[in-house]
């Protein structure tokens, strides 16, 4: 019998990725809250979203065999609550929050991997004396306890930077913070965590270097790893410009972050779900630092896994949700390397022209297995884009595969140069991709 698998925030684009798994003929995929209802909305009415999702599941005429997700909050926290109510396999809500709540997560990282955990402290952005209470020297990072895509994340080099960041934070933090507080009501929190709610921030010592994500899963109490993805920043080291698979880090460093990830996830007590732990590696000192933990696979990595492994990373979450040990990493794809590139612009302006369908079709036809997904529309201001980092704006996502890293970057440049955008400031999209060579 076919298994009914419900996907939180499903849309047609990501359904194409989800269907690139083995035994797909045995599954029927159902949307549980559309992307418009769960992802691209101004506010997140969590209790209402939870009630609506539960009602749809109860009204489904067939069996509910699994619930999965591949997005950040609030999908990640809807999953364990709904799974618990329907007797399905998933991580516990508390385990999810130990990853998502940045302060709680840092406390746990510090317990088990102190040498890999940057110094940190909680910050109340609505406290007029907050800066005096931060026991870190400049420079440091200031981030909300819960956000995504580096939204409202600021590097603080001096008191003026802090004042600017706090003003921006006070204006925008409640969009996610209030909804995160709604989730915290469903969990049993230690007193020291209950005091640091979703409208708090965390200050962290600066960690730098190359960045890599360890994607893995925990099944029957054992954490395992199925892929390492390099998260490449631009030449300014401000914004992400591509997610490249597989990692080109030296093998000995890859093994260190794999073991650290497994040790950390076991300490958290995370089970029956996928996760991703991100690291910095400083080439000169060989030092590692944990960036953050995401309690999910990333939909931004799915196309790369398809191109290299021959199956989407959704294979992992489907297998675990159905109570099976995943069988992944087959090297059965068409390419040896693949990436999702993020074409960016670094100042706010109005979009006056985007590539039309014929233009996109032409560039995709010229580069085999390429895909261009626009993130902007003609007439919009870039500041209208939601969930952007504090330094740039995503113009388009470009998905590519190749047989080498050099070929991959060359394909990107060839394709990107043929996409004709225009902006009110008269300036083109700046190409500041940061290139690596293999070690």
438 pLDDT more than 60: no
Residue ranges covered by each domain of the chain: 3-96, 119-204, 338-439
Residue 431 confidence (pLDDT): 66
How high does pLDDT run on average in the chain? Answer: 94
Q: What percent of the chain has pLDDT over 90?
A: 88
Supply the pTM of this predicted model. Answer: 0.94
186 pLDDT more than 80: yes
Q: Does domain 3-96 have CATH number 3.40.50.20?
A: yes
With cut-offs at 50, 70 and 90, classify the pLDDT of residue 437: low
Using CA atoms, how far apart are residues 259 and 172, in angstroms rounded to an integer? 37
Residue 428 confidence (pLDDT): 83
Residue pLDDT, tens place only, 278-311: 999 999 999 999 999 999 999 999 999 999 999 9
Residue 387 confidence (pLDDT): 75
156 pLDDT more than 50: yes
Residue pLDDT, tens place only, 115-140: 999 999 999 999 999 999 999 999 99
Q: Which residue has the tokens 């993805």?
A: 229
Using CA atoms, how far apart are residues 326 and 316, in angstroms rounded to an integer? 5
Q: What is the mean pLDDT of residues 38-44?
A: 88
432 pLDDT more than 70: no
As a CATH number, domain 338-439 is: 3.90.1170
Q: Which residue has the tokens 């840092």?
A: 106
Class of domain 119-204 as given by CATH? alpha beta
108 pLDDT more than 90: yes
Instruction: Specify whether the CB–CB gap between 219 and 237 falls below 8 A.
Output: no
Backbone angles phi, psi at 378, to 5 degrees: -60, 135
Q: Beta partners for 229?
A: 213
Residue 374 confidence (pLDDT): 96
Residue 237 confidence (pLDDT): 72
Residue pLDDT, tens place only, 249-263: 999 999 999 999 999
Q: What is the mean pLDDT of residues 68-80?
A: 95
Residue pLDDT, tens place only, 16-34: 999 999 999 999 999 999 9
Using CA atoms, how far apart are residues 309 and 222, in angstroms rounded to an integer? 23
Q: Please, which residues have CB within 8 angstroms of residue 65's CB and are 6 or more apart in sequence? A: 3, 4, 5, 88, 322
Residue 439 confidence (pLDDT): 44
Residue pLDDT, tens place only, 188-242: 999 999 999 999 999 999 998 999 999 999 999 999 999 999 999 887 777 889 9
Backbone angles phi, psi at 249, to 5 degrees: -65, 155
434 pLDDT more than 70: no
366 pLDDT more than 60: yes
Backbone angles phi, psi at 34, to 5 degrees: -70, 165
47 pLDDT more than 70: yes
149 pLDDT more than 90: no
165 pLDDT more than 80: yes
């Amino acid at each position: 019998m076919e298994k009914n698998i419900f996907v939180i925030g499903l849309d047609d684009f990501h359904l194409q990725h989800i269907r690139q798994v083995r035994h797909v003929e045995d599954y029927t995929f159902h949307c549980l809250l559309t992307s418009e209802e769960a992802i691209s909305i101004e506010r997140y009415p969590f209790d209402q979203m939870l009630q609506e999702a539960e009602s749809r599941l109860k009204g489904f005429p067939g069996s509910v065999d699994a619930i999965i997700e591949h997005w950040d909050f609030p999908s990640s926290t809807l999953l364990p609550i709904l799974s618990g109510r329907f007797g399905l396999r998933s991580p516990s809500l508390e385990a999810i929050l130990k990853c998502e709540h940045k302060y709680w997560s840092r406390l746990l990282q510090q317990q088990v991997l102190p040498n890999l955990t940057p110094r940190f402290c909680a910050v109340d952005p609505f406290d007029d004396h907050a800066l005096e209470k931060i026991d870190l020297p400049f420079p440091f990072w200031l981030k909300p306890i819960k956000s995504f895509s580096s939204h409202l994340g600021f590097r603080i080099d001096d008191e003026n930077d802090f004042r600017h960041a706090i003003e921006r934070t006070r204006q925008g933090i409640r969009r996610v913070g209030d909804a995160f507080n709604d989730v915290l009501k469903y969990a049993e929190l230690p007193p020291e965590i209950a005091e640091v709610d979703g409208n708090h921030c965390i200050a962290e010592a600066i960690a730098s270097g190359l960045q890599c994500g360890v994607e893995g899963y925990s099944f029957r109490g054992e954490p395992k790893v199925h892929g390492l993805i390099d998260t490449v920043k631009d030449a300014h080291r401000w914004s992400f410009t591509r997610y490249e698979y597989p990692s080109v880090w030296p093998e000995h460093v890859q093994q260190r972050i794999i073991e650290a990830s497994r040790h950390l996830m076991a300490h958290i007590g995370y089970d029956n779900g996928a996760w991703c732990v991100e690291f910095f590696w400083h080439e000169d000192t060989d030092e590692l630092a944990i960036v953050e933990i995401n309690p999910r696979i990333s939909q931004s990595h799915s196309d790369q896994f398809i191109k290299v492994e021959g199956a989407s990373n959704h294979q992992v979450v489907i297998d675990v949700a159905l109570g099976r040990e995943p069988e992944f990493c087959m090297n059965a794809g068409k390419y040896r390397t693949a990436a999702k590139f993020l074409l960016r612009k670094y100042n706010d302006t109005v979009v006056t022209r985007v590539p039309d369908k014929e233009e996109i079709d032409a560039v995709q036809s010229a580069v085999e297995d390429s895909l261009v997904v626009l993130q902007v529309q003609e007439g919009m201001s870039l500041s209208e884009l939601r969930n952007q980092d504090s330094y740039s704006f995503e113009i388009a996502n470009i998905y590519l595969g190749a047989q080498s890293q050099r070929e991959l970057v060359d394909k990107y440049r060839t394709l990107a140069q043929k996409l004709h955008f225009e902006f009110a400031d008269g300036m083109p999209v700046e190409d500041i991709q940061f290139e690596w060579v293999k070690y």
